[in-house]
Chain A
């Protein structure tokens, strides 16, 4: 397994399957339909994101550079967490952006029994290396282990 060290935004240990967006994740466009129409898999609805469009986001280790788009982004992420349709964790290659940070913090502060570990600043090498389906393990200290596909 290859190890990458990032900064812990929301702590936690978790193992999940990687889902990779090489471009910024438009949070509203990606989650809105899933939240609206009761899709528990949180299928990505953003047609402008060929990496994720049509793929299940809930329960995956979502690997991305940053989030982009509407400033509703943070509250959309908060809602996804509240409704149990959030990714297992979010792993940012860049320092986290203000919209994703808001969503991650709001979920951690306001929601009981919801845990979505978030690590940022993992570097471009992480995003270049990780592929859909790879096995991801996050440790409490912000070390992310990336292994072969499930």
Chain B
């Protein structure tokens, strides 16, 4: 049996018990990458030599008793918008094609301190802008369940790599659903933590007030373990929060007893694909069988989430991406006349169309004369959406719904119509606007064999509750491997 078919916790246990080693695990991950990544393109950069060297070091520390944690020696993929010292970090953009950071992101450093072995940087939508991983300068990632389909995005590389067993788990980032939606499309589990739980220091910003780093794994337990490793209060990130407890694993007791789950009618309307709706309602029933109490309710304001999100995220992005100007690092056009021509050409050539679209949109909504009508209104909408969730959490421990209205679309179907692509984010963006934690758990496939994910949304700081419910649900159905991984093994 392949080591990569194990969950991260199972593999970590085998390594600790000397049944295998960090080096063997890294080798298997790298072998699997060689086998499948030509087709899937989950990775922008794989540093084989460095990964093996690191695995050897970790193994020595494990043997010396210096590393005893559950993730010691386990191979991981890191989304390519997280800075890694000495290892190029591209954001899947031509702009940063050759950019090598001088420092490592806090979350990655935490992961390394836990003994995980980073084997490569995973593909994504350019600067995390997109829902399909097709806007990458390095070509699209393909869905391991069916390479004709997209893996979702923007953390598509991370999610597809976990599903295709090219790594045991991965880090992604989620600004409007970028962990949860591709997790659903790839049949893996992905968690977006409460805003402020994981330090953003070293995460190349898209929408600073919405961005949050989170784990992607085969199951809830892996996500809980990885969250324990990466979450920390970090003085370098002023939006980071000191939490009372960083214990998540102990919440998983296999039961959903006592959990009140609200099912918003607004999430199950006309826009939702029939098969997706069926699988999710079945999953809800399964949770009921594990002791949860279900109730339908009206969340309200759902239709305002997407416009508010795209105004706020694009506004912040237009400013965050201003630093990529060809002056200090990154892409600079070859020939130019004067400063302004250098700026224009470097940015025109260095950014792809979706990034340019959002920079223009963001610059527009912040322009004098439009600020109040767009940006301020979006901020007010954000506050109202948060209030709607607050009301829901007075009655329920969590909210259950889909992660996306459909299963993964085919490659090339989405980019031609960006507006309908944006509308696909309807179930995920409000979670970011309200700063809440959300998790997606695989709950079956559609008629074409494409995975469907159920989303559980918790109140701020209630990761333990949604992880517990996700884990309880997993007890009712086994993890299904994607056909490609199953065939390889």
A, B co-complexed: no
Residues of B within 8 A of A (CB): none
